[in-house]
Structure 1
Amino acid sequence: MSNFINSLLYGFTNILSVGPEEPKEGDSAGCGSEQGCCKDQPKVKQACQNEAADACCSSSSEPKQNTGCCSSSSEPKQETGCCKDNTVKSETKDTCCQSSDTGKEACACEGEKEPVVIDHLKIIFSTLTGTAKTMASEIENKIRQNDRVTVNKVDIMDITEYDNDNLLQETAICVFILSTYNVEGPLDWFSNWLHDLRYDFRVDRDALKKLRYSVCGLGDSAYGDEFNVAAANIDKWLGRLGATRIYPLGECDKNADQKGQFDTWSNGFVSELEDKQCLEFSPTDISYQSDEEEDEASGEENGEIDIEGSGDEMVDLEDMGNMASKIKAAKARRAEEEEDYENSKAKAKRMIGVDDNKPREKASAPQAREMVSPMIMKNLTKQGYKVIGTHSGVKICRWTKSALRGRGFCYKHAFYGIQSHLCMETTPSLACANKCVFCWRHHTNPVGTTWRWKVDDPQFILDGAMENHYKMIKQLKGVPGVKAERFQEAFTIRHCALSLVGEPIFYPHINDFVTMLHKKRISSFLVTNAQFPDKIAEMVPITQLYVSVDAATKETLKKIDRPLFRDFWERFLNCLEQLALKGQRTVYRMTLVKGHNTAEIDGYVELIRRGKPSFIEVKGVTYCGYSGASDLTMANVPFHVEVIDFCQKLVSKLGGDYEISAEHAHSCSLLIAHKDFKVDGVWHTHIDYNKFFELVESGKPFNSLDYMAKTPEWALHGHEAAGFDPEETRFYRKNRKVVAAPENPDINA
């Protein structure tokens, strides 16, 4: 108390005798009321001018003890860290000093994030030779060295020391590093316990809902089917008991670079901890399902002839009435919008009651509206779309899910060398000029012949598409069977399929959009419905340009595509002629609808000679369920042998310029290629993507033969693999019935 009085008197005496001292150059405006520091002054309580409680002076050699720090201090700020620019970046943070380089993990500087605080993390290992224990220590070091993650407590323990019953109330994040051997080991008891727990009727299906976990298996592929089987089972049972999977299962092979594989997995896991959302409890419904239900949820039925994810169209029987009414309401709303637009274009020649001799104010042009109405937004969102801005969308294909689980790729992998988990499926225009009978979206998307909506910036669309694509990929981390290495690879998009619903080439800035893709080294496959010939003529070079050729005659095209243009047939033929003038790879996409367009082989031959495509994709139609918009049934879906028969007849009439090159039986699809792509008797239907980007960047003219690559043998027509990559794992549903095709199919039936 006496010290305080003496200090107060000393300060009061200085004020009376000298007056307030002006701050010198280089000093701060003042000092804190408790632990402030002023130049050439002792650290006592003072009443300096214009200073908050956390200020510090440039000449002080001691850091402020609470929140401040001085520029000459080499110690980090104790609570909030120091920034380099000496500016307040957040209202909730204090002023930082210039000279401190440490403590950045707690700084609220612009562009930096708060560290993720984890209360408790357990690393549980199972080992016979000590490898798993060593790797458990390694991952602990990586977590502690990560500046963006703060873990209050880390425990490393042998699984034999862990009480299984504690798992039911476990709230810590658990990392399992588990070795699998083909002999009895310490892991067997834990694995069997989880299996019994999963099928115990007395235990809730979400018994482990408080648990957040990740599993990495260590094994030897020399054991064949038993490779990492225990780790895979534990990962599966934990998920099905309601636990939240933070990161996909890791599989490290002792027969390969096991250490390198573990480093890749552990780095990915530690990076995932930096995201607070990934630590939230969010068990997926798929975790609670059986093997059969899992594949229904993800849409992966190998017996189905489905490429674009029509499994998302499945609805419960009791919901069919509601779905039909919604489709009807959407169509009525669209008709009203189009009628309003047409009426807005009609202008009165003379306004009644207005003197023609007086100048009239010019009528303002009608305001452009958004393409996606609330009803369309609701329908597309329910179908799995992420709508971007006012007229664009992105969606995860079911083949992306299949590729992430190592269960095979789509037909583009067999035909052109594209891996589905590296592919983004998007469209910059949800509107279309056709109403095809086999439309995947049952005509709930907008239609039109001219662009009358607002126009979004192409960079905005691309950024939004990539962001939403990555978000949807991240949501798949909890799906059983997702491979960690492919999960990581999926966050680098290498290909963009501009298809989905709508007409991508309809977008006014499609050239700018495609150019941005190529600058990011993302290849482009663009599909058009052959109604905009001028747009095709104006297109910049793209990796591969598709035209849908759904019929060979005017009458059949009108019946199948149901185009909006009155001169649709002339536009269709003009598009094919423009295609012949393009120097890059071009493709006819032909969808066979049995009973509609399979008998017009001579007509298709004439269209092929007109457009001279590089390739012809022939695919059986995918039945997407009854919608009231068409009369298609499963009877209109051809068998794969029927598609082969059609292709053989078509090739035989093309005069030897084309041959069947590849197939993908799973998709009921074949590829007919021009013989220019058969070099020395070897097919080169795949694409050298790096070469393509080099050619685009050079700015020099080039053609489709300049960036072709060899087709693997397993993708060739007639090979026993039938287009399924042998390095993938073919998955069949339990008790799946295989329906044999007729011995002598009548393609015209």
Structure 2
Amino acid sequence: MPHLGIFELPDELLDLWHQYRIPIILSTFGLLTAVRLGLHFKYGRPKAMVSSMPGSPRPSLVDGVEKPLVDIKIRPLESGEKAVVYTEKPKPVKSARKHSPKRVTGKKVRRPKGTGQMLFDPEVDSIRPLIFYSSLAGTTEKAAGKLASDINHWIRDRQTAGDSKLLETQSHDLSYVEYDDFFITAPKDEPNTKYFYIVIIPSYDIDTVLNTFLEHLQETHHDFRIDTAPLSGLVGYTVFGFGDREGWSTEEEGFCSQAIEVDKWLAKLTGRKRAFPLGMGDVKTDGAERLGEWLSGIQDALVDIAAGKGLGEGVAGSGNAVASDEEEEEPNSKASLDDVEDLGKSYRGPVEKDSEEWAPMAIDFTTFNKPASAPAPAPAPLKEMVPKSSPTYASLTKQGYTIVGSHSGVKICRWTKSALRGRGSCYKFTFYGIKSHLCMESTPSLSCSNKCVFCWRHGTNPVGTTWRWKVDPPEVIFEGVKEGHYKKIKMMKGVPGVRAERFAEAMRIRHCALSLVGEPIFYPYINEFTAMLHKEHISSFLVCNAQHPDQLATLNHVTQLYVSIDASNKESLRKIDRPLHRDFWERFNRCLDILREKRFEQRTVFRLTLVKGFNIDEEVEGYADLVAKGLPCFVEVKGVTYCGTSTSSAAGLTMQNVPFYAEVQAFVVALDAALARRGLSYGIAAEHAHSCCVLLASTRFRRDGKWCTRIDYGRFFELLESGKPFGPDDYVGDETPEWALWGNGGFDPRDERVDRKGKKKIVEI
């Protein structure tokens, strides 16, 4: 069979088609109609039909007897074969008969099986498999790496044997790829190369990047601007899912649920080009064995496609054949609907067909409805963000979190423990006067919209772009986090070295750092929650990631508002923050514009987390431009802290990415010079060498030649309770202590710094 090929239109012609397709279609239809009418009037209707194959003449009912409308005669042809000649007979006169409702019969027409139009030409084309994977803890990433290695080894063996139709595979992490490049149209980067998609993913009961990926597939399918099967240019696809039968033993309970969903949507987007059935394995037991079996099926499918055999016919799950997903409803499925002809039987008792009472029930489809007294269906209950039975809950509590309600948490900070023992407070005390043992670290939302490479909680806290969970009242959260914090403070009573006076002070919370994990501003009632803090004279230090501009614009007064600025350009931000929002850069810039507008209402801080190899080299000028755009009150520059877990390594972060304090200092000096060149009034105010952190401040906070970066907390609550407008200049506190200024190290001389073994450490300035 000759290869038909595909004619690909350039983008300009495709745009013209979408713009003028309706008038073109109508004009074409009108032209064809005119031609048809012209031929009809010129030649008339043919009276006879000659065919080499017998047909099915249409019968007519005359006096209760079926009679054909044609005379059938057989005459020989020159070739020796016999032909059937149909000649029309005069139409019979209809007899009077009793009218009865017409009964609709029939069944759903199934699509014919087959490989469809061949897209791969074995004479000129080659096949490159592409592996897509997603991994939080690194297990799936390792499996995908081994799979890629095995496939490439197999392909190289075939190339050595003379088969050059298969090219070595390429792997892509779904957390990093641009979905538009791979899942709206098939890639066209390499000429005469067709692509085969291999997707290997785990399944989670928390929101991860897979939820965003599934939403993209679903939106692409339902987008009227995109063709029905935009990925039909692929030669095939297959999906493998890892699950956990210990927690979700069956598919109905959630085993490999997200892999099943990906397989379903790819079937729709590719025009059912499933090359091999969905594979599933238990990550704890038979995952490797099932993956090996699945690999053998992939290899067989690739060999057949490379030989020009397509996806095969008649095999369940291959080509156009239907597999066990929602592409077509199974006849005996409980979720399937009855045919129209069977609706009547579903509303009456069983009746024998031969009885006099048997007849199709008349149903008025225009008036049939549920009784007015029938109760409305109950809405589906919202799920909890972190259910107590979930692995997420177990993991977070094991790390020292107290989960409050279904989506909030509190955890005692290591600086709180250090301050209780007189071994130093965090940089917030050095810069702003916050006593660490009086500070509660909590969050009303454990979910985040980023997967930053330096995050300490890879694979434990949920992620998402929209709030889709049950919402706990702010009163419940407020009381719960206070109770959890006090319980953890009481647990420090018997720890050696705890100072009695500081322990007594710690039993009254004075500050709240809303920066534990997740995105606090994501919580729908964040303003009500901060109001409860302020009512008890607890200061609020809120940190957001510049991905929720609408919530940021409506945020009420907080004591200090932080915005994480982790990169100076779009590509660096994509790599280091790994945001879930597709318009993350636009959201980021909108947040900076909002901060500029609020600079005389809120005390704003840019937090720059420096990650060596990601956002330090040659980005000083870019950061200076962002500062010029947002004009924050302060800029904190901090070196990343490596938590030393395997999940950090899986995210691409090692100890090599942690900058030395000298490198942070050099960066700050360069940034200060870049701000000066732009005519911006900033200066290096303070440092906390122990935290590898330096503070740049606006000269608005320099009084009588001295830096005043600390906060007058009593004055803040007075202004807040007055109900009058006020700004950050109205509650500036005392001058920054000498030991906290730039060049003096920033360690409180009243405390004693010790090493990891508890021995006194000499602090060099």
Give the TM-score normalised by structure 2: 0.51
Aligned residue type for 1:723: G
| Percentage of identical aligned residues | 58
CA distance in 2, matches of 1:679, 1:352: 80
1:619 aligns with 2:638: yes
Instruction: Report the equivalent of 2:431.
Output: 415
1:729 aligns with 2:601: no
Superimposed CA distance per residue, residues 608-645 of structure 1 (whole angstroms, 9 cap, x where no aligned partner):
11111000000000111231531111111011111010
* Contact 1:330–1:444, Cα closer than 8 Å, also in 2: no
Instruction: Report the equivalent of 1:546.
Output: 562
1:711 pairs with one of 706, 715, 736: 736
Q: How many residue pairs are counted as aligned between the two chains?
A: 418
CA distance in 1, matches of 2:542, 2:404: 18
Structure 1 pair 549–523 and aligned structure 2 pair: CA distance change class (3 A): same
CA distance in 2, matches of 1:335, 1:687: 38
* Contact 1:330–1:376, Cα closer than 8 Å, also in 2: no
2:614 pairs with one of 565, 572, 596: 596
Structure 1 pair 551–340 and aligned structure 2 pair: CA distance change class (3 A): closer
Any residues of structure 2 matched to 1:358-437 within 5 Å, and which? 358-359=368-369, 364-373=378-387, 374-437=390-453
1:606 aligns with 2:622: no
1:694 aligns with 2:715: no
SS in 1 for 2:697: strand
Structure 1 pair 442–695 and aligned structure 2 pair: CA distance change class (3 A): same
Cα deviation for residue 333 of structure 1 reads 3.6
Structure 1 pair 645–566 and aligned structure 2 pair: CA distance change class (3 A): same
Larger Rg: 2
Structure 1 pair 470–602 and aligned structure 2 pair: CA distance change class (3 A): same
CA distance in 2, matches of 1:662, 1:734: 29
1:507 aligns with 2:530: no
Aligned residue type for 1:372: V
SS in 2 for 1:591: strand
CA distance in 2, matches of 1:633, 1:732: 23
2:593 pairs with one of 577, 582, 585: 577
Aligned residue type for 2:557: P
Unaligned 5+ segments in structure 2 are 1-135, 143-200, 223-325, 327-335, 344-364
CA distance in 2, matches of 1:366, 1:339: 21
1:649 aligns with 2:670: yes
1:334 pairs with one of 185, 203, 206: 206
Instruction: Report the equivalent of 1:658.
Output: 682
Cα deviation for residue 332 of structure 1 reads 3.4
Give the TM-score normalised by structure 1: 0.53
CA distance in 1, matches of 2:417, 2:727: 34
SS in 1 for 2:458: coil
CA distance in 2, matches of 1:459, 1:390: 14
SS in 1 for 2:533: helix
SS in 1 for 2:491: helix
Aligned residue type for 1:653: A
Structure 1 window deviating more from structure 2 (620-629 vs 523-532): it is 620-629
Cα deviation for residue 443 of structure 1 reads 3.2
* Contact 1:586–1:614, Cα closer than 8 Å, also in 2: yes
Superimposed CA distance per residue, residues 101-126 of structure 1 (whole angstroms, 9 cap, x where no aligned partner):
xxxxxxxxxxxxxxxxxxxxxxxxxx
CA distance in 2, matches of 1:460, 1:735: 39
Any residues of structure 2 matched to 1:159-558 within 5 Å, and which? 332-334=204-206, 338=211, 353=339, 357=366, 358-359=368-369, 364-373=378-387, 374-558=390-574
CA distance in 2, matches of 1:327, 1:515: 44
Unaligned 5+ segments in structure 1 are 1-321, 742-749
Instruction: Report the equivalent of 2:7.
Output: none
Structure 1 pair 341–562 and aligned structure 2 pair: CA distance change class (3 A): closer
Superimposed CA distance per residue, residues 631-675 of structure 1 (whole angstroms, 9 cap, x where no aligned partner):
111111011111010011011011251111000000000001011
Structure 1 pair 733–446 and aligned structure 2 pair: CA distance change class (3 A): closer
Aligned residue type for 1:698: S
CA distance in 2, matches of 1:397, 1:330: 32
Cα deviation for residue 340 of structure 1 reads 12
Cα deviation for residue 344 of structure 1 reads 11
1:631 aligns with 2:652: yes
Structure 1 pair 447–689 and aligned structure 2 pair: CA distance change class (3 A): same
* Contact 2:685–2:695, Cα closer than 8 Å, also in 1: yes
Cα deviation for residue 359 of structure 1 reads 3.6
Structure 1 pair 645–459 and aligned structure 2 pair: CA distance change class (3 A): same
CA distance in 2, matches of 1:624, 1:471: 25
* Contact 2:438–2:509, Cα closer than 8 Å, also in 1: yes
CA distance in 2, matches of 1:733, 1:383: 20
* Contact 2:606–2:635, Cα closer than 8 Å, also in 1: yes
Structure 1 pair 435–702 and aligned structure 2 pair: CA distance change class (3 A): same
SS in 2 for 1:465: helix
CA distance in 2, matches of 1:419, 1:481: 18
Instruction: Report the equivalent of 2:255.
Output: none
Cα deviation for residue 735 of structure 1 reads 10
CA distance in 1, matches of 2:577, 2:621: 20
* Contact 2:408–2:446, Cα closer than 8 Å, also in 1: yes
CA distance in 2, matches of 1:474, 1:430: 24
CA distance in 2, matches of 1:468, 1:488: 17
Superimposed CA distance per residue, residues 309-354 of structure 1 (whole angstroms, 9 cap, x where no aligned partner):
xxxxxxxxxxxxx986699999634369949996999999x96647
Superimposed CA distance per residue, residues 61-119 of structure 1 (whole angstroms, 9 cap, x where no aligned partner):
xxxxxxxxxxxxxxxxxxxxxxxxxxxxxxxxxxxxxxxxxxxxxxxxxxxxxxxxxxx
Instruction: Report the equivalent of 2:115.
Output: none
SS in 1 for 2:204: helix
Cα deviation for residue 729 of structure 1 reads 1.2
* Contact 1:576–1:610, Cα closer than 8 Å, also in 2: yes
* Contact 2:603–2:728, Cα closer than 8 Å, also in 1: yes
* Contact 2:754–2:760, Cα closer than 8 Å, also in 1: no
Cα deviation for residue 685 of structure 1 reads 0.3
2:709 pairs with one of 685, 698, 717: 685
Aligned residue type for 2:651: S
Cα deviation for residue 426 of structure 1 reads 0.1
Aligned residue type for 1:553: N
CA distance in 1, matches of 2:482, 2:671: 40
Cα deviation for residue 602 of structure 1 reads 1.2
Instruction: Report the equivalent of 2:333.
Output: none
Superimposed CA distance per residue, residues 226-248 of structure 1 (whole angstroms, 9 cap, x where no aligned partner):
xxxxxxxxxxxxxxxxxxxxxxx
Cα deviation for residue 440 of structure 1 reads 0.9
Provide the alpha-carbon RMSD of the alignment: 3.2
Superimposed CA distance per residue, residues 385-430 of structure 1 (whole angstroms, 9 cap, x where no aligned partner):
0000000000000000000001110000001000000000000000
Aligned residue type for 2:382: A
CA distance in 2, matches of 1:331, 1:401: 37
CA distance in 2, matches of 1:326, 1:421: 41
Cα deviation for residue 605 of structure 1 reads 1.0
CA distance in 1, matches of 2:572, 2:430: 31
Aligned residue type for 1:666: H
SS in 2 for 1:479: coil
Aligned residue type for 2:547: Q
CA distance in 2, matches of 1:563, 1:446: 13
CA distance in 2, matches of 1:379, 1:400: 22
* Contact 2:610–2:616, Cα closer than 8 Å, also in 1: yes
* Contact 2:137–2:650, Cα closer than 8 Å, also in 1: no
